[in-house]
């Protein structure tokens, strides 16, 4: 057989490596900033775009889609051509992919801090950016699939299976969850509402973890661990079983983010059991990673690359055991809404994604620059800083989550809440926030060492833009020579289609009944659409990222009903585009904030004072001040359009209401300004704070008004 | 491993990984990466089977047997039924100011934790009225203050505390207001509200 000569292009790999490091540093610095803002609420100096609610989405998006995203593409663009013995299909597509993705990241950084957000976690980006992501993702997929078509190896290796699953699933998740109806160039409303929106969002959110943070990194692991250790993969059979089991089961598990919410019991149960069933398939990956190192443990002791891989894969094993445990209702009742979740995700992000990325970079750099790594000692120091940084980050937060949850639930002997004031439970865990910030600082210090080390390596070496290789052409396949799984390994397009089928099933089984069967969201007659002023206020609530610290979901527990009021019903959220259940209670739940008979009720003047200066009313509060809400005029030019879009989404405003909406808006605003004036607060009715107060004081009241009417 | 074993295996056409003495799968090589012919660890297979069994039982318990602990409405009713609400002691309290140090300290604690959110820690008032001056909206007798704390004045934003504070706690906090805060000079006193009581 004649050998064909070809070359691998390292230039794009280098660009993705640089981008990984740059965005990793940026994303983590923003993370450290928001961690410090929780300790020093005045750190943002009343600058809107520096406030916690605006920066936190920037942190999560940057780490997930910019740092890990570019890490994925580094691995894919380096390993795929070598595994398939062919250059990437198109240099042009590769460049469009690279620059397109960086442009998306920059546009995220230019919109999120300025409050342009859909208000759904990890899917915050507004619709034009969503469209750009879709296009670039297709460019990436096309490049990947065409490279497989052009391959010179008969079969595709397990790393590529995981890349395929990543491509198809992320495409499906992103498109389905981001169907938003535009109001203007940078404002849109999701087509789903309330508990249905929640189900779609957490199907997406959970599987963003699965198919953006996990499967591509399993692919990365399957290439770089055997390479770095120079060992064969532990078990091919395990690869097959855990791959298909993982991608089929993962997609079902989203509802575990909504345990004890108003999601129906059957859907919650699916979230529980599919999470539990994920332990073994996840551990299959860990076993195959760690046992590949059998026979190379002596190397692990010395080589910082392998050490990082070992800690990374171990962190993966830990968090994929912890995840299913957190999905058990009894554990979730404790862990949900607390810092426990934050600790859990950072074991994954700092341990699994971070360590694997660093290991890959330290392995690739000397090969691409044809020189020895500048300093193995510095790399080892980086390893220790990352490992201890991760522990200093996570352990205090486990403690904080556990402590705060127990305080929320504790009753006195007389049957009253032991800590009725939420702030007591915050003050208790503040020391843990200090240690967490220290952990983050250690971790970032490690990255700075890495950057120095890699810059020095680059200076000493010479970049190899192309690597020559040769292989025989792939001849027409002999049908019948393959058996079992080998058959589809030689048919990458079929493989792609089968993966797609595997990941569609779970979503369809959960969504169809949720959207088609009415009993899943029982209607409550007294629940009415928001008034125009409340709707505008709600958009301010989204803009400021209030949902990142305040939930709107009272769970059916005695401790929550006593603290907040009636637990939340599915029918109450049917006009919420998007839903605002939240996932973390850094501050108290707000679902019953407007209910006069609830223990959390506050008058308008309290809210005004609290937005202006939270520490004046709650001395130890860690909420930042929002003086700009009092300064800014409310933009009411958007009201008619917003009403019309809501009507299109099925919110029953009367015909022609869009034209009357602003009159009603001003009427309600004047009422609230009047109430404030009676309390001695002079504020013009056209300020943003009026709309936000209107929204907050509407929360949770509809079902109670019904009760009082019934009593009359 | 003896040489003969190795020879036999070579004749059968497969290689063996010398470090672990495990067979390598034939024709599986990708950019130099080979794959071993290990089976899935049996403990792993059992783990998988057990989680699947757990899941089936879980779903059958919910969907067929409607188990109480898997229906959150039922779970909630059970928890509320078990709550010691009825046991909230109806303490026979004399309606008189409590002037012992312990009561006043407890009252101060409640004031700082709960009341200060609207009346400020020094009692000067912000959203709620100033408690240090001689002006009272709803009277200044012990029964008056107790009634306000117990039932609230919801149209003015004062919520009822009968479900959050025990009768003794309520009495302690109003005693703290009357015997400790009243008559002091707060940092930023709110203008007088209500009627003057000398």
Is pLDDT above 80 for A711? no
**In chain A, whose CA is at the least distance from the CA of B163?**
A416
Chain A residues inside the 8 Å CB shell of B62:
265-266, 269
**In chain B, whose CA is at the least distance from the CA of A325?**
B51
What is the DSSP secondary structure assignment for residue A187, as one 8-state letter? E
Instruction: Single out the residue of A169, A166, A150 nearest to residue A89, CA to CA.
Output: A150
**In chain B, whose CA is at the least distance from the CA of A80?**
B31
Chain A residues inside the 8 Å CB shell of B154:
596-597, 601
Element (H, E) at B33: strand B33-36
Contact A416 B79 (CB under 8 A): no
Chain A residues inside the 8 Å CB shell of B53:
none
Domain ranges of chain A: 3-462+484-508, 532-711
Q: Does B71 touch chain A (CB under 8 A)?
A: yes
Same domain membership, residue B47 and residue B32: no
Element (H, E) at B35: strand B33-36
**In chain A, whose CA is at the least distance from the CA of B19?**
A295
Of A22-36, A103-117, A572-586, B7-21, the poorest mean pLDDT is in: B7-21
Residue-range definition of the domain harbouring residue B8: 3-36
**In chain B, whose CA is at the least distance from the CA of A223?**
B33
Same domain membership, residue B149 and residue B163: yes
Instruction: Single out the residue of A63, A502, A515 nearest to residue A250, CA to CA.
Output: A502
Looking at the complex, report in whole angstroms how far the Cα of residue A486 sits from the nearest Cα belonging to chain B. Answer: 10
Contact A266 B114 (CB under 8 A): no
Chain A residues inside the 8 Å CB shell of B59:
269, 273
Let me know if residue B162 belongs to a domain: yes
Is pLDDT above 50 for A478? yes
Confidence band for A2, pLDDT divided at 50, 70 and 90: confident
pLDDT above 70 coverage of chain A, percent:
98
Let me know if residue B112 belongs to a domain: yes
B159 vs A227, A412, A601: nearest CB: A601
**In chain A, whose CA is at the least distance from the CA of B48?**
A280
Same domain membership, residue B126 and residue B66: no
Strands B195-196 and B135-136: antiparallel
Contact A226 B33 (CB under 8 A): yes
- State which of B55, B82, B109 marks the end of a domain: B82
Same domain membership, residue B14 and residue B75: no
What's the CATH number where B106 sits? 1.10.760.10
Looking at the complex, report in whole angstroms how far the Cα of residue A604 sits from the nearest Cα belonging to chain B. Answer: 8
| Cα atoms in the 13 Å half-sphere on the side-chain side of A381 | 15
Predicted confidence at residue B157, as pLDDT, reads: 84
Predicted confidence at residue B4, as pLDDT, reads: 53
Predicted confidence at residue B83, as pLDDT, reads: 85
Same domain membership, residue B190 and residue B128: yes
Predicted confidence at residue A264, as pLDDT, reads: 96
Same domain membership, residue B27 and residue B69: no
Same domain membership, residue B57 and residue B31: no
Q: Does B48 touch chain A (CB under 8 A)?
A: yes
Predicted confidence at residue B94, as pLDDT, reads: 85
Q: Does B141 touch chain A (CB under 8 A)?
A: no
Topology given in CATH for the domain delimited by A3-462+484-508? Cytochrome C Oxidase; Chain A (1.20.210)
Let me know if residue B146 belongs to a domain: yes
B33 vs A157, A237, A599: nearest CB: A157
**In chain A, whose CA is at the least distance from the CA of B120?**
A617
> Rounded to whole angstroms, how far apart are CA atoms A575 and A277?
35
> Rounded to whole angstroms, how far apart are CA atoms A563 and A704?
17
| A410-462 per-position pLDDT tens digit | 999 888 999 999 999 999 999 999 999 999 999 999 999 999 999 999 999 99
A415 vs B32, B48, B83: nearest CB: B83
Same domain membership, residue B71 and residue B110: no
Let me know if residue B92 belongs to a domain: no
Confidence band for A526, pLDDT divided at 50, 70 and 90: very high
Strands (E) in A378-488, as ranges, are 466-472
Looking at the complex, report in whole angstroms how far the Cα of residue A230 sits from the nearest Cα belonging to chain B. Answer: 8
Same domain membership, residue B47 and residue B29: no
Is pLDDT above 90 for A708? no
Q: Are A703 and A650 in contact (CB under 8 A)?
A: no
Looking at the complex, report in whole angstroms how far the Cα of residue A316 sits from the nearest Cα belonging to chain B. Answer: 16
Chain A residues inside the 8 Å CB shell of B89:
414
Let me know if residue B88 belongs to a domain: no
Q: Does B134 touch chain A (CB under 8 A)?
A: no
Same domain membership, residue B75 and residue B58: yes
> Rounded to whole angstroms, how far apart are CA atoms B73 and B70?
9
| A384-406 per-position pLDDT tens digit | 999 999 999 999 999 999 999 99
Contact B118 A601 (CB under 8 A): no
Looking at per-residue confidence, does A676 or A705 come out higher?
A676
**In chain A, whose CA is at the least distance from the CA of B118?**
A617
Contact B80 A561 (CB under 8 A): yes
Confidence band for A218, pLDDT divided at 50, 70 and 90: very high
Chain A residues inside the 8 Å CB shell of B51:
276-277, 279-280
Looking at the complex, report in whole angstroms how far the Cα of residue B54 sits from the nearest Cα belonging to chain A. Answer: 8
ipTM confidence:
0.93
B24 vs A227, A232, A284: nearest CB: A232
Predicted confidence at residue A704, as pLDDT, reads: 86
A606 vs B59, B118, B154: nearest CB: B118
Q: Three-state SS across A486-502?
A: HHHHCCHHHHHHHHHHH
Confidence band for A707, pLDDT divided at 50, 70 and 90: very low
> Rounded to whole angstroms, how far apart are CA atoms A437 and A444?
11
**In chain B, whose CA is at the least distance from the CA of A86?**
B31
Looking at the complex, report in whole angstroms how far the Cα of residue A309 sits from the nearest Cα belonging to chain B. Answer: 17
Element (H, E) at A183: strand A180-184
Topology given in CATH for the domain delimited by A532-711? Cytochrome Bc1 Complex; Chain D, domain 2 (1.10.760)
Q: Does B79 touch chain A (CB under 8 A)?
A: yes
The domain total for chain B is 3
Contact A232 B159 (CB under 8 A): no
Chain B residues inside the 8 Å CB shell of A617:
117-118, 120, 126-127
Predicted confidence at residue A475, as pLDDT, reads: 73
Looking at per-residue confidence, does B162 or A692 come out higher?
A692
Let me know if residue B90 belongs to a domain: no
| A316-328 per-position pLDDT tens digit | 999 999 999 999 9
Task: For chain B, list residues with pLDDT below 70.
Answer: 1-12, 85-91
pLDDT above 90 coverage of chain A, percent:
95
Looking at the complex, report in whole angstroms how far the Cα of residue B40 sits from the nearest Cα belonging to chain A. Answer: 5
**A474-506 exposure pattern, b = at least 16 Cβ within 10 A, e = fewer:** beeeeeeebeebeebbbbbeebbebbbebbeeb
Is pLDDT above 80 for A503? yes
- State which of B51, B82, B113 marks the end of a domain: B82
Q: At what angle do helices A69-84 and A215-229 cross, to 10 degrees?
A: 60
Instruction: Single out the residue of A496, A2, A560, A472 nearest to residue A262, CA to CA.
Output: A560
Chain A residues inside the 8 Å CB shell of B44:
238, 280, 283-284, 287
CB pairs under 8 A between A and B: 181
Same domain membership, residue B48 and residue B19: no
Contact A415 B116 (CB under 8 A): no
Q: What is the token pair recorded at A541?
A: 């609530």
Q: Which candidate in A220, A235, A295, A328 is best for mutational testing of the B interface (most B CBs within 10 A)?
A: A235
Average pLDDT of the residues of chain A: 95
Contact B58 A597 (CB under 8 A): no
Around Cβ B197, how many Cβ atoms within 10 Å? 11
Is pLDDT above 50 for A594? yes
In A551-623, alpha helices (H): 558-564, 604-612, 614-617
B126 vs A416, A598, A609: nearest CB: A609
**In chain B, whose CA is at the least distance from the CA of A259?**
B72
Predicted confidence at residue A385, as pLDDT, reads: 98
Chain B residues inside the 8 Å CB shell of A238:
38, 40-41, 44
Same domain membership, residue B190 and residue B107: yes
Is pLDDT above 50 for A678? yes
Predicted confidence at residue B5, as pLDDT, reads: 57
| Cα atoms in the 13 Å half-sphere on the side-chain side of A385 | 19
**Predicted TM-score of the model (pTM):** 0.94
* Span A363-379, average pLDDT: 97
């Amino acid at each position: 057989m004649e050998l064909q000569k070809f070359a691998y292009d390292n230039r794009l790999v280098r660009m993705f490596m640089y981008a990984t490091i740059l965005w990793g540093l940026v994303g983590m610095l923003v993370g450290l900033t928001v961690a410090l803002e929780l300790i020093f609420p005045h750190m943002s100096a009343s600058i809107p775009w520096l406030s916690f609610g605006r920066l936190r989405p920037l942190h999560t998006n940057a780490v997930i889609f910019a740092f890990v995203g570019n890490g994925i593409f580094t691995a894919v663009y380096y390993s795929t051509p070598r595994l398939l013995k062919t250059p990437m299909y198109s240099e042009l597509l590769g460049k469009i992919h690279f620059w397109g993705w960086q442009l998306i990241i920059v546009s995220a950084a230019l919109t999120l801090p300025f409050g342009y957000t859909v208000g759904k976690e990890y899917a915050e980006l507004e619709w034009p950016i969503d469209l750009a992501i879709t296009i670039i993702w297709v460019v990436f997929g096309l490049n990947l699939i065409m490279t497989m078509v052009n391959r010179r190896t008969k079969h595709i290796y397990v790393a590529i299976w995981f890349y395929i699953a990543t491509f198809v699933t992320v495409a499906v998740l992103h498109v389905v969850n981001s169907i938003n109806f535009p109001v203007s160039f940078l404002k849109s409303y999701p087509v789903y509402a309330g508990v249905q929106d929640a189900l779609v969002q957490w199907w997406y959110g959970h599987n963003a973890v699965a198919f953006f943070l996990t499967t591509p990194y399993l692919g990365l692991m399957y290439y770089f661990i055997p390479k770095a250790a120079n060992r064969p993969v532990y078990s091919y059979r395990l690869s097959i079983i855990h791959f298909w089991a993982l991608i089929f089961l993962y997609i079902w598990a989203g509802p575990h983010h909504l345990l004890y919410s108003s999601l129906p019991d059957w859907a919650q149960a699916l979230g529980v059991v599919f999470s539990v069933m994920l332990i073994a398939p996840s551990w299959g990956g860990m076993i195959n990673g760690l046992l590949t190192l059998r026979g190379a443990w002596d190397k692990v002791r010395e080589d910082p690359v392998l050490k990082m891989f070992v800690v990374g894969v171990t962190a993966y094993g830990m968090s994929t055991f912890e995840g299913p445990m957190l999905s058990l209702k009894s554990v979730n009742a404790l862990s949900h809404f607390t810092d426990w979740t934050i600790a859990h995700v950072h074991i994954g992000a700092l341990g699994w994604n971070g360590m694997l990325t660093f290991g890959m970079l330290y392995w690739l750099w000397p090969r691409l620059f044809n020189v020895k790594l500048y300093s193995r000692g510095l790399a080892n120091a980086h390893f220790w800083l990352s490992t201890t940084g991760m522990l200093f980050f996570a352990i205090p937060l486990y403690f904080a989550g556990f402590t705060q949850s127990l305080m929320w639930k504790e009753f006195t002997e007389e049957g009253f809440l032991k800590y009725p004031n939420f702030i007591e439970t915050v003050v208790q865990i503040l020391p843990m926030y200090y240690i967490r910030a220290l952990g983050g600082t250690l971790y970032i210090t490690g990255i700075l060492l890495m950057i120095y080390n890699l810059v020095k390596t680059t200076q000493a070496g010479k970049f190899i833009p192309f690597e020559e290789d040769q292989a025989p052409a792939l001849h027409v396949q002999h049908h019948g020579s393959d058996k079992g799984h080998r058959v589809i390994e030689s048919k990458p397009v079929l493989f792609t289609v089968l993966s797609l089928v595997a990941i569609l099933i779970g979503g369809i089984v959960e969504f169809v009944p949720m959207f088609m069967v009415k009993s899943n969201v029982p209607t409550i007659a007294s629940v009415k659409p928001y008034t125009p002023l409340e709707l505008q206020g709600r958009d301010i609530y989204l803009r400021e990222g209030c949902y990142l610290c305040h939930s709107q979901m009272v769970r059916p527990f005695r401790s929550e009903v006593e603290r907040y009021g009636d637990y939340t019903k599915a029918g109450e959220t049917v006009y919420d585009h998007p839903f605002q259940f939240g996932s973390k209670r850094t501050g108290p739940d707000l679902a019953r904030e407007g209910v006069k008979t609830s223990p959390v009720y506050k008058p308008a003047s309290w809210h005004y004072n609290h937005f202006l200066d939270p520490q004046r009313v709650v001395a130890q509060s860690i909420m930042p001040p929002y003086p700009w809400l009092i300064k800014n005029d409310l933009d009411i030019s958007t009201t008619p359009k917003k009403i019309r879009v809501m009507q299109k989404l099925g919110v029953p405003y009367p015909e022609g209401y869009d034209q009357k909406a602003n009159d009603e808006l001003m009427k309600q605003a004047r009422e609230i300004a009047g109430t404030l004036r009676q309390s001695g607060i002079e504020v013009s009715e056209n300020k943003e704070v009026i709309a936000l107060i209107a929204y907050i004081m509407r929360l949770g009241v509809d079902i109670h008004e019904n009760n009082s009417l019934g009593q009359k | 491993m003896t040489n003969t074993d190795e020879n036999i295996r070579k004749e059968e056409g497969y290689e063996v990984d010398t470090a672990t003495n495990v067979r390598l799968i034939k024709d599986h090589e990708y950019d130099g990466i080979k794959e071993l012919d290990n089976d899935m660890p049996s403990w792993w297979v059992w783990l998988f089977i057990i989680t699947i069994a757990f899941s089936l039982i879980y779903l059958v318990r919910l969907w067929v047997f409607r188990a109480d602990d898997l229906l959150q409405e039922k779970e909630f009713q059970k928890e509320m039924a078990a709550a010691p609400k009825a046991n909230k002691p109806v303490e026979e309290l004399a309606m008189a100011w409590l002037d012992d140090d312990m009561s006043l300290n407890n009252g101060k604690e409640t004031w700082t934790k709960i009341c200060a959110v609207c009346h400020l820690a020094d009692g000067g008032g912000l959203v709620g009225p100033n408690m240090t001056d001689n002006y009272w909206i709803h009277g200044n007798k012990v029964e008056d203050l107790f009634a306000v704390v117990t039932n609230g004045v919801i149209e003015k934003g004062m919520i009822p505390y009968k479900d959050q504070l025990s009768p003794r706690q309520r009495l302690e906090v109003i005693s703290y207001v009357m015997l400790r805060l009243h008559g002091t000079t707060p940092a930023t006193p709110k203008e007088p509200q209500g009627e003057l009581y000398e």
